[in-house]
Chains A and B, each alone.
Chain A
């Protein structure tokens, strides 16, 4: 019988305009303990992708477009295979101009 993986929870923040489209600024997402960044994006796509404009969310790639990037702590999160750990905080940002 396959081993059932424990669950982890990661804290997500959608910054700026992303929160408008997600309909929420902060949330907690439950994933498998072996989850990678790719799995988080899949869950985000499932929950919020349909509300995001295509300039932000790439349905085919199941990922944000190049206008959005993620940070874990002070580190840019780009590797889809990056393992995630319980309690980690991941923030998503939309790149924009000042004036």
Chain B
């Protein structure tokens, strides 16, 4: 195998507790790189369609990329993959922290779990040796305690990815946590881990990731670091963190307010939860492994809300979900809610959005204090927001109704609650309104990308259209002719993510660095054209997973609040609509995916060297 890889994939059969290592095939690696690209290829090949996402037949994967754990800046990522129990589609979640690099240092590029254990277990990989161990003493512990207990047993060099109580209790909005607060949050894959009774992966090792051309890599790294620091996006991430964006983003109508039915006029005190306020709570910067950006931070102990010193700084998405979405301008309560989610392993986007939905139900008389265990779930009631987040994380009382996200909650509540339930195929959208300027393409991504309601799949515009690449080849205020760029940009993001690079790193790095870094690390001569082909192949692989499941993303419903409803407020997007239908149509045409059935053409699949996939979809 070329460099950049440890060369081995670990397979753990939880039915038999058999563990075996497989050699990673070079053609497979070059075709899909790693992360969700490689994950989609492997699950499509080895898993039949139609499995129960929370059943033993769903395969759960943890994958790194060739750049993970190397000197390439911002490459500390790993990805969790599986069929999503939240959406029934392809599911993945990407994560920073330090687990990814250490998985490679332990000797493996990826770990897949098949089957289901009859008792709680954790996987320990110690310098190449893997074993399943009893996790009876860890089950029921939160993510902090789990990490602390495993470090106490195996030493401080061990790195842990684990679920909290939310995953154990099969919350469909639960994720996987490492470094006590970096989350592979989306798609509900924490519940898949919980369904298999896998509490944690603990990895350690001192193996080096082999690199093809260390000198060229070092040279490019130095050049890239200089360019990164000159990038106008860098100081926001580095100096303050993503929360710096909140006040401006609310002002321009990008960040949703009041469960997607409000605007800046409802949130005049938004500065209280913006970066300038939050940074005053920070005691030191936190960076994921090998990251020069360091967008995270450790905070002082809370005063009104009693969280300890050292908790993670909430990200933009979290501040949006628990803040503006709930009309909550109490910053400590957002930090507290973030900490609850980190400890119990909940996706903050989904959890905050579900709370906003519940508040709107409460305010409209659909539920009352009798339903909510006496809690007054009113807009901006920060004590109530924290209390209900805790209940949701523990599935206690009304929290049990909310613990599977807005779609499940609206079905359980009934009485017309579904009109306030903002989700796409079950997943709550992130904090980016597709009607806002330079976010229009996200409407198509939310509906019809392989995992619905995701912003990290990008679109053909905004920050993911790299600054070095000049003006977009279309009118910014038009919905016409965006398909080609949408295809190209989302393909590039597939490559960056699958290679193990953080998208913030991708954004601030010269875009031409990505293929060069992959080439210098692996020894393959990866051109820009090949990067685009790999990105397209990954998109087709994930998409084919959904098509084989009998799903048609063209028919997935996007709530009208996200694109066309005349909102009951004045604001920057009040008179805007987003023509999602046209955006999807143009994009699918460029992808050679049928605009009615969503099915990729046989010609396209075969052209991407996916002949077996073509045969599966065209039997």
Point out residues on A near B: beta carbons under 8 Å: 15-18, 20-21, 53, 55-56, 65-67, 69, 71, 74-76, 78, 91, 93-99
B287 to chain A, nearest CB (A): 13
Identify which of B233, B253, B432, B572 gathers the most chain A CB atoms within 10 Å of its CB: B233
Partner of B430 from A18, A96, A98 at Cβ < 8 Å: A98
B327 to chain A, nearest CB (A): 19
Within 8 A of A (CB), among B493-510: 503-504, 507
A33 to chain B, nearest CB (A): 27
- Whether B523 sits at the interface, judged by CB under 8 Å, is no
Contact between chains at A69 and B248 (CB < 8 Å): no
- Whether B360 sits at the interface, judged by CB under 8 Å, is no
- New contact pairs (6) apart from A69-B252, A97-B464, A97-B507, CB-CB < 8 Å: A17-B232, A20-B235, A74-B571, A97-B463, A98-B249, A98-B316
Contact between chains at A65 and B248 (CB < 8 Å): no
Shortest Cβ distance from A20 into B: residue: B235
Contact between chains at A53 and B472 (CB < 8 Å): no
A sample of 24 inter-chain contacts (CB < 8 A) reads A15-B247, A15-B251, A16-B236, A18-B232, A65-B471, A67-B463, A69-B252, A69-B437, A71-B252, A71-B572, A74-B253, A74-B572, A74-B574, A76-B437, A94-B232, A94-B233, A95-B437, A97-B463, A97-B503, A97-B507, A98-B432, A98-B455, A99-B242, A99-B295
Known: A97-B463, A98-B432. A53 touches B504 (CB 8 A): no
Bound-state CA distance A20–B237 (Å) is: 13
Bound-state CA distance A17–B236 (Å) is: 6
- Whether B373 sits at the interface, judged by CB under 8 Å, is no
B292 to chain A, nearest CB (A): 16
Contact between chains at B574 and A93 (CB < 8 Å): no
* Total A-B contacts with CB atoms under 8 angstroms apart: 89
B600 to chain A, nearest CB (A): 28
Tell me which residues across on chain B come within 8 A of A96, comparing CB atoms: 233, 236, 245, 463
Contact between chains at B232 and A93 (CB < 8 Å): no
Shortest Cβ distance from A69 into B: residue: B437
Tell me which residues across on chain B come within 8 A of A97, comparing CB atoms: 233, 242, 455, 462-464, 503-504, 507
A5 to chain B, nearest CB (A): 31
Tell me which residues across on chain A come within 8 A of B92, comparing CB atoms: none
Within 8 A of A (CB), among B444-482: 455, 462-464, 467-468, 471-472, 476-477
Partner of B467 from A16, A67, A69, A74 at Cβ < 8 Å: A67
Partner of A98 from B253, B317, B464, B477 at Cβ < 8 Å: B317
Shortest Cβ distance from B436 into A: residue: A95
Bound-state CA distance A99–B504 (Å) is: 8
Interface flags, B238-269, vs A, CB<8A=1, else 0: 00001011011101110000000000000000
B505 to chain A, nearest CB (A): 11
Contact between chains at A95 and B462 (CB < 8 Å): yes
Within 8 A of A (CB), among B382-433: 430-432
Shortest Cβ distance from B317 into A: residue: A98
Shortest Cβ distance from B249 into A: residue: A98
Interface flags, B552-577, vs A, CB<8A=1, else 0: 00000000000000000011101000
Contact between chains at A95 and B315 (CB < 8 Å): no
